Chains A and B, each alone.
Chain A
Amino acid sequence: MASEAVLRRRSAGHRLAGLFHGRRRLQIGALLAGPIGWLVIGYLGSLALLLVAAFWSVDPLSGLTVKEFTLENFEALFNEPVYRTIVWRTIRTALLVTMTDAIIAFPIAFYMAKVASRRGKALLVVGILLPLWSSYLVKVYAWRTLLSAGGAINWALEPIGLHGPGYGTTAVWLVFSYLWLPYMILPIYAGLERIPNSLISASEDLGASPFTTFRRVILPLSFPAVVAGSIFTFSLTLGDYITPRLVSNDQFIGNVIFSNIANNQPFAAALAMVPIVVMIAYLLVARKLGAFEHV
């Protein structure tokens, strides 16, 4: 009796919920339809459409695509040595930037996680995040003026007989390391926070020097977080073309893609496959190393 009255008073929401109850497929489907539709059909589909052009060619005058299967783009990519140089230069810089950022970020993150007071922590987090809001372009242009022959770096170094790096590959490495540093600091910080202080104390109690504690306790436990941060420093360097253009003459993968997008999209698509493949490989390795796992 009473239960009937309860049943009749159920709201629309209640009844809709009942529809989902027990039906796992429906639940999962409803949750995932949006995100998966967006990402797979929308995003991956768009990517696929772009990349399929890598197997086409282009009419040199009109720039219109000739939709006939051909491997000439990949032949050009493999045969011309300049592209190997460019790809290797990009990957090498990405790796260097990642290592540099890891080295600079770790002490800062460690200090924030284990040493700073509550207020200090808050200040440092805000302090690290603030530069992210000051426009990528403005930061790169600021570096360009810093590095210029009449810029602040030379102005500071010349009195002591030194010389700044000027524009070039070194400048690119410097600027990238600068730009992506916060993306490395924060995950390492989060990772270090999760290491219980008791572990560190225990290690010290057992007689380990600070360096040994670092090497055998802290580093292994925070490594996945470092890898997680590296995903961003690596991928952001791999694809960027604006910074190399503004502080050097170097051609990175992004630059050649950019210069070919206009007149030879099939070739640009073939070029684009390179960072995609590299990045997917990197992500798979990162996953293995635990960057994707919750500790």
Chain B
Amino acid sequence: MRSRRGNPARAAWLVLAGLVVVMLAIAGCGGGGSDTTGGGSSDEALQKVGKGEGQLNLISWAGYVEPEWTKPFEQETGCKVSDKEAGTSDEMVELMKTGQYDGVSASGNATARMVAAGTVAPVNTDLVPNYKTVFSDLKDQPYNTFEGVNYGIPHGRGANLLMWNKDDVKPAPDSWDVMFDPKVAAKYKGKISVYDESSYIADAAMYLKFHQPDLGIENPYELNEEQFNAAIDLLKEQQANVGEYWSEAAKQISAFAGGDVTVGTTWQYQYFALKEEGAPMEASPASQGFLPKEGATGWSDTWMIAKDAKHPNCMYEWMNWIISPKANAEVAEYFGEAPAQELACKETANPNFCKEYHAEEPDFWKRVYYWETPLADCGNGEEDCMDYNDWVKAWTSIKG
């Protein structure tokens, strides 16, 4: 009797379905054209640093934001630091899009993208007193200055290391052959550790620049289709020998410590951690003092401030703090990279630190290819270079 199906609730369901359709229509029509007008010219950098807001939310690489230098910062400025560690530049770009963070330590393969996406604001370097004494070959670089406008404060730079277990890998390699040359790499099949991001394609390109010069590769981040495909093929060959693709530092540390991998690309951070535990690691250039024959990819990181950051004053205080001589020395020694601040070289615990890390040798860095964002427009007048989307898609097909 009461089980007459339908009419009352059916109407309700139809109304609901209609609501969902309307939502879709709104979403579809919102912005009939593209939203690529983000970034740059209409933003203003801060004009004056005011009182600290009491809180600071950062995104950073592992080892960049540690209590050793954040606690004094908090005491002095009252800005409580909350840090989210990201493993890749992709993660950082994504996190910045949420608008929840005040600043990020960005590498060159993230800076251009964030500027274009409008998630970061220009930096008024006049408000950062310690900027004056930053190394001059870090200022106004293509990865931190766009259309003549400064977008960040240099943090430090380093080369990606070739690290190996000296008990298992003999003789000590002086070239990336050990990871790319099929004959040599096959000896360590299943024991090779590779960085899990599309930027690694540049490492293959850099290898080809040295070993196959007729490909004509100049900048490993600016590759036309032929050069790109050569790099992809090299990486697909390498895939058969790879033991692990890593993006979290601790994952790589445990892999090396446990003997799952014996050779790979890494950062100083992992190298230090393994040495501390007594693991028999060597690395180039860290323990050898020189780069592999072909050079190395690397990074030069920049602290960027979010557009419409919730705590801009604290962020400016941070940017000034992190390149103050003492703090920059501490972070450089902790992570294992060359400091951005000239005066930091006098503050390092190890008096030879800056020398060991070539902080004052611009020539050394000419063979280090800092991470960059691949663009279609690669400065040769043509726009036929592979762009970031191509790199990411290729990386997926390399890993299989």
Contacts and interface: CB of A to CB of B under 8 A. Distances in A.
B400 A60 contact: no
Interface in B268-288: none
A48 B392 contact: no
Interface string B102-146: 000000000011001110000000000000000000000000000
B351 interface: no
A145 B32 CA distance: 51
A260 B375 CA distance: 18
Contact of A63 (B2, B8, B32, B93): B93
B9 A63 contact: no
Nearest to B32: A67
Interface in B1-52: 2, 8-9, 12, 16, 19-20, 23-24, 27-28, 30-36, 38-39
B contact face: mostly helix, strand, loop, or mixed: helix
A93 B96 CA distance: 34
B57 interface: no
Contacts of A49: 23-24, 27
Contacts of B389: 58, 60, 263-264
Interface in A65-91: 65-68, 76, 80-83, 85
A109 to B, nearest CB: 36
A39 to B, nearest CB: 10
B100 to A, nearest CB: 15
Given A67-B33, A82-B397, A262-B93, A40 B388 contact: no
B393 interface: yes
B376 interface: yes
B34 A67 contact: yes
Contacts of A148: 254-255, 258-260
Contacts of A28: 8-9
Given A24-B2, A145-B258, A62 B90 contact: no
- Of A52, A151, A246, A249, most B-chain CB atoms within 10 Å: A249
A63 B117 contact: yes
Contact of A256 (B23, B258, B396): B396
Contacts of A29: 8, 12
A166 B38 contact: no
A145 B254 contact: yes
Contacts of B34: 59, 64-68
Contacts of B361: none
A67 B116 contact: no
Given A64-B36, A145-B258, A150-B258, A40 B20 contact: yes
Nearest to A61: B116
A287 B373 CA distance: 49
Nearest to B29: A67
Given A41-B20, A148-B258, A256-B396, A67 B31 contact: yes
A58 B36 CA distance: 9
A61 B387 contact: yes
Contacts of A61: 112-113, 116, 373, 375, 387-388
A151 B257 CA distance: 11
B244 interface: yes
Contacts of B24: 48-49, 52
Given A45-B23, A145-B258, A62 B91 contact: no
A62 B38 contact: yes
Contact of B8 (A25, A41, A68): A25
B146 to A, nearest CB: 11
A264 to B, nearest CB: 6
Contacts of B116: 59, 61-64
Contacts of B27: 48-49, 52
Nearest to A144: B254
B399 interface: yes
B242 interface: yes
Contact of A149 (B9, B242, B259): B259
Given A76-B393, A150-B258, A256-B396, A41 B19 contact: yes
B28 A52 contact: yes
Nearest to A85: B400
Given A260-B392, A264-B389, A66 B254 contact: no
B69 interface: no
A256 to B, nearest CB: 6
Nearest to B93: A262
A36 B16 contact: yes
Nearest to B116: A62
A82 B117 CA distance: 29
A276 B344 CA distance: 54
A259 B90 contact: yes
A60 B32 CA distance: 19
- Of A62, A65, A81, most B-chain CB atoms within 10 Å: A62
B95 to A, nearest CB: 9
- Of A40, A63, A67, most B-chain CB atoms within 10 Å: A63
B392 A82 contact: no
B251 interface: yes
A251 interface: yes
Contacts of A59: 34, 36, 116
Given A62-B36, A148-B255, A167-B244, A262 B9 contact: no
B188 interface: no
B66 interface: no
A44 interface: yes
A261 interface: yes
A35 to B, nearest CB: 12
Contacts of B245: 249
Nearest to A22: B2
14 contacts: A25-B9, A29-B8, A40-B19, A49-B23, A61-B116, A63-B117, A64-B34, A64-B35, A67-B33, A145-B254, A251-B396, A262-B91, A263-B94, A263-B389
A-B pairs, top 4 by smallest CB distance, nearest first, are A62-B116, A262-B94, A148-B258, A25-B8
Given A66-B35, A150-B260, 5 more contacts: A62-B36, A64-B118, A148-B254, A251-B400, A263-B113
Interface of B: 2, 8-9, 12, 16, 19-20, 23-24, 27-28, 30-36, 38-39, 90-91, 93-94, 97, 112-113, 116-118, 242-245, 247, 251, 254-255, 257-260, 373, 375-376, 387-390, 392-393, 396-397, 399-400
